[in-house]
Amino acid sequence: MNNYLDLDIKSIHELLVNKKIKVSDLVSEAFQKIDDNKLNAFITLDIEGAKKRALELDEMEVPKENLLFGIPIAIKDNIMVKDLRCTCASHILENFISIYDASVVELIKDAGMIIIGKTNMDEFAMGSTSETSYFKAPINPWNKNKVPGGSSGGSAVSVAAGFTPFSLGSDTGGSIRQPASFNGIVGMKPTYGRVSRFGLVAFASSLDQIGPMTRNVYENALLLNIIAKHDPKDLTSFETKEDFTRLIGQDIKGMKIAVPNYFVSSVVDDDVLEVFNKVIAMLKEKGAIIDYVDVNHIDKAATLYQIIAMGEASSNLARFDGIRYGLSLKEDTLEDLYKKTRTVGFGTEVKRRIMVGSYILSGENAKIYYNKALQIRDDLKKSFEHIYENYDLILGPTSSRVAYDVNINHDDPLRSFMDDILVMHANMGGFPSMSVPMGMISGLPIGIQIMGPAFSEARIYQLGSFIEKELNLNLKAREL
Amino acid sequence: MSNYQKTIGIEVHVELKTKEKLFSPSSNLYGNLANTNCNIIDLGYPGTLPTLNHEAVDLAIRAATVLNCKIRTKMHFDRKNYFYPDNPKNFQITEERTPIGYDGYVEIDDDGEKKKIEILEMHIEEDTCKSIHSKERTLLDFNRAGVPLVEIVTKPCIKTSREAVLYLEKLRELLLYAGVSDCKIEEGSMRCDANISISNTKELGTKIEVKNIGSITNVGLAIDYEALRQEELISKGEKLKEETRRYDAKLNKTILMRVKETGNDYRYFPEPDIPYVILTPEHIKKVQSEIPVLPSIRRDKYLKAGISLLNSNKLIANKDLSDYLEEFENINLKTASNLLLGDISAYLNKNNKSIFETKLTTHKFEDLVKKLDEKVISNKNFKDIINDVMEKDIDIDTIMKDKGILNLVDDNQVLEIINKVIAENEKVVGDYLGGNERSLKFLMGQVMKESHGSVNPKIANDLLIKTLDAKK
């Protein structure tokens, strides 16, 4: 079997330009690898569509400036791709075929990328292990007994296992960055509004953001170049135009970095801190200025997340009612149809969150919980912005621990939230944040989180790429 | 008279006359084939997001302005969560906390006595689907889903059914003329609910809502019926419960729909997909400057032209006709209004047309009014030719000729007949010239006979005298 997909993007592009390989070769290789390694990374594969599109591209001249032309990509199964199933890993949408393309998917298709399929995930992106999927859970390519993280677990696995160099995930409270950390890849949650959410099945609208998951920082920035575009169909999207690769390779001497004390407190495993501290030492040595800081409300993110995300989710998921699309279990009365369809259609975790969210928004609770949470969220955002007045970026571990054993979160729903206590702040404040591999612990990768003020992605890529180059980890998932 | 005092509050939903829907680019059109004006957003498809139609916001600014409301400069939308098949997302996007307009009033004139009906608030929201119940099934028409509405809520300051009717008539007139809405109750673009309670103490009684009343007159009837019904129950010692009723116009009765459950919980929260809407004073001013002339100015003009108050109000209520009249600068308004409110209205109603859909060009109408004023044609003549006037692309003179009303057009033809009569009645002409005025009547009779009754008597008479006098 060929291993063209293991080459870096520039090399693949060169081979395509020089007609040494065809787009069809890349697509066949992707499907071959997916088939050879049973990792349940995908819920739906578009073998026929992808091969057909590849043949079309084979007939075209490869545009020299477009590095992503003909490159396979995997899309998380909560993002609409026309004519493909979009299940959100839920029984209720098990047979739902999308009739339109999400705005990001239009951009990806326009760039000539080839969509290989839709990746596995936690049901409706609710979870951090991908185990709440209605389908067989995806497997961590580093160790089959460990979770791949979530909710964008399948997207992370697809990149880590070398099936596709690129994938799209979505991040509501760490769902791109935590699985990126657990799989040893790069995952970026862009600034809220950078990437259109039109066509992303909403979980928590004010927190959701689509982002790129890739093998390295440079390729991550390349994909963000494609998908970051103002979209009139999404009122929360921004008009921005910049080259996200532009600072990559520049020195970081004099860069001012803040490390919140909370990020290096006892909430983080000691072995993770050890790896993190080494990176900090390296950065200091290379001339970065690093200070430890306190940030107001930083310990409240998980609580805020529970209230805001679940409140919004209870409303966003109301549309799955068996009337217009998706699973519909006919009963004698309307109320019974609703009840039966939603009881059978949603999994336990989703139902739990809908119930909690509905409770939080009910009557007086809305004032006590939801409105209060919005206030504190605003304060939290301001306290981070206060830090950004004096620092370029913020650093911390992405997750408090490495990937853990499968099936251990089931009895303790709160535990899965604890995974994300270091990454939810970016969603609360709308800030960009990226996870880059920083080392290995007991054969499992672990990521470092770089967060910055709104629209600072290029600066994040600069530091991320620097860390990547200095550490030179050359990660390769071992179960393959 | 009853010693119970009525307390009435009115909620009106009005569909805004926009090209597109409130949160999607689908067309906002009434009367099209079911489910042809809807897209994935209106259907509540997963992954879709709302956009905001600024034309709707601007029409809401107009509405708030003519209702003398204060206009909020920073507002957001909220989600009202409830499950129902006509509610595609199972939440409705509305303005719960920051209605665009508040603290307004509408002034009514109750036989010379002026009263301000206070508006509590006016907010923008999306309409639901139309449910069509047929036998066992319910069908959904998504054409209406997402149509922009404003809901206008009065304070409970209305005391009588007459005030309620006057308020609604005035409200409709204001919104119609501001170009906010068609306000067609029969098509559902204006929908009225009334909250009625009665009490013989200072404390308010139990509030009962009557929903979706089919006409303004019926709002008055429903209120009177409901107040009487409540009084009877109270006098029997029954305790009223908050409930929602509907009005059956055929029976002139209100009928129970549902008893209100305590504390309907809509789990409102701010719509995260739509950022705050900021209205600058400049923008508000600009929108306000575009509001068309208000009806009171037209009414004053009509009254000054000698049109009766009744007819003036009829013209105002029929905005198409009033707008049509605006196209003329020098026209006898009184004749024109009689023509419009009489035969032309009858024709339009019978044929279910708007005046703008007929062949009655301004040129033709001007000609008609002139001919009526000059008695060149009679009202009876007009009845004979109205179908041709409204439906054919030909001018009035030609129509008259075709219908044999030619004499009125052509003096020479009338003169021909007169000369013939004079020639055949030399003796009577001699009598007339000798001073016998009665001879003129005979001669006129002959002229009418000769023309088979189709000449205009006045013209013929004038012309006959002129011709005879020339012989003196």
| A328 and A353, same domain (yes or no) | yes
Residue A214, pLDDT > 60, answer yes
Chain A nearest-CA distance from B319, in A, is: 37
Cβ count near A230 (within 10 Å): 14
Confidence of residue B466 (pLDDT cuts 50, 70, 90): confident
Give domain status of residue A440, yes or no.
yes
* pLDDT on residue A407: 86
| A70 and A159, same domain (yes or no) | yes
Asked if A76 is an active-site residue, the reply is: yes
Highest average pLDDT, of A433-437, B335-339, B375-379, comes from: A433-437
Residue B222 is encoded by which pair of tokens?
Answer: 């429903």
pLDDT in tens, A259-298: 999 999 999 999 999 999 999 999 999 999 999 999 999 9
Give domain status of residue A248, yes or no.
yes
Residue B306, pLDDT > 60, answer yes
Give domain status of residue A283, yes or no.
no
Give domain status of residue A323, yes or no.
yes
| A166 and A313, same domain (yes or no) | no
Nearest to A249 by CA among A82, A461, A24, A11: A461
| A365 and A398, same domain (yes or no) | no
Answer whether B89 touches A (CB < 8 Å): yes
Q: Last residue of a domain, which of A343, A375, A407?
A: A375
Average pLDDT over residues A461-473: 98
The residue segments making up the domain with residue A354 are: 300-375
Asked if A196 is an active-site residue, the reply is: no
Supply the ipTM of this predicted assembly.
0.96
Q: Where are the domains of chain B?
A: 5-283, 295-408, 411-471
Residue A97 is encoded by which pair of tokens?
Answer: 């075929």
CATH of the domain at A77: 3.90.1300.10
| A34 and A181, same domain (yes or no) | yes
Out of A312, A318, A323, whose CB is closest to B85? A323
| A130 and A226, same domain (yes or no) | yes
| A329 and A413, same domain (yes or no) | no
Answer whether B97 touches A (CB < 8 Å): no
Q: If DSSP codes are grouped into helix, strand and coil, which group holds residue A308?
A: helix
Give domain status of residue A156, yes or no.
yes
Measured CA to CA, the distance from residue B113 to residue B37 in angstroms comes to 46
CB of A39 closer than 8 Å to CB of A136: no
| A245 and A324, same domain (yes or no) | no
Average pLDDT over residues A308-321: 98
Residue B7, pLDDT > 80, answer yes
Measured CA to CA, the distance from residue A165 to residue B161 in angstroms comes to 73
Measured CA to CA, the distance from residue A56 to residue B450 in angstroms comes to 89
Answer whether A240 touches B (CB < 8 Å): no
Give domain status of residue A275, yes or no.
no
Average pLDDT over residues B47-69: 98
Lowest mean pLDDT among A314-318, A443-447, B432-436: B432-436
Residue B77, pLDDT > 50, answer yes
| A229 and A342, same domain (yes or no) | no
pLDDT in tens, A398-450: 999 999 999 886 666 666 667 789 999 999 999 999 999 999 999 999 999 99
Confidence of residue A135 (pLDDT cuts 50, 70, 90): very high
Residue B100, pLDDT > 70, answer yes
Give domain status of residue A268, yes or no.
no
B441 contacts: CB under 8 Å, gap ≥ 6: none
Chain A nearest-CA distance from B175, in A, is: 29
Asked if A175 is an active-site residue, the reply is: yes
* pLDDT on residue B262: 61
Give the residue carrying structure tokens 């001012």: A256
* pLDDT on residue B406: 56
Q: Last residue of a domain, which of A375, A406, A431?
A: A375
* pLDDT on residue B131: 92
| A136 and A11, same domain (yes or no) | yes
pTM higher than 0.95 for the full model?
no
Average pLDDT over residues B248-277: 89
Q: What is the mean pLDDT of chain A?
A: 96
Out of A199, A314, A319, whose CB is closest to B88? A319
| A73 and A215, same domain (yes or no) | yes
Out of B89, B269, B273, whose CB is closest to A311? B269
Measured CA to CA, the distance from residue A250 to residue A255 in angstroms comes to 11
Q: Last residue of a domain, which of A325, A348, A375?
A: A375
Query: Do B47 and A79 make contact, defined as CB atoms within 8 angstroms?
Result: yes
Q: What is the mean pLDDT of chain B?
A: 90
Domain B411-471 class in CATH: mainly alpha
Residue B409, pLDDT > 60, answer no
* pLDDT on residue B263: 62
| A146 and A187, same domain (yes or no) | yes
Give domain status of residue A280, yes or no.
no
DSSP assignment of B395-458, as one string?
A: -HHHHHHHTT-GGGT-HHHHHHHHHHHHHHTHHHHHHHHTT-THHHHHHHHHHHHHTTT-S-HH
Chain B nearest-CA distance from A313, in A, is: 11
- Cis previous bond, A151, omega within 30: yes
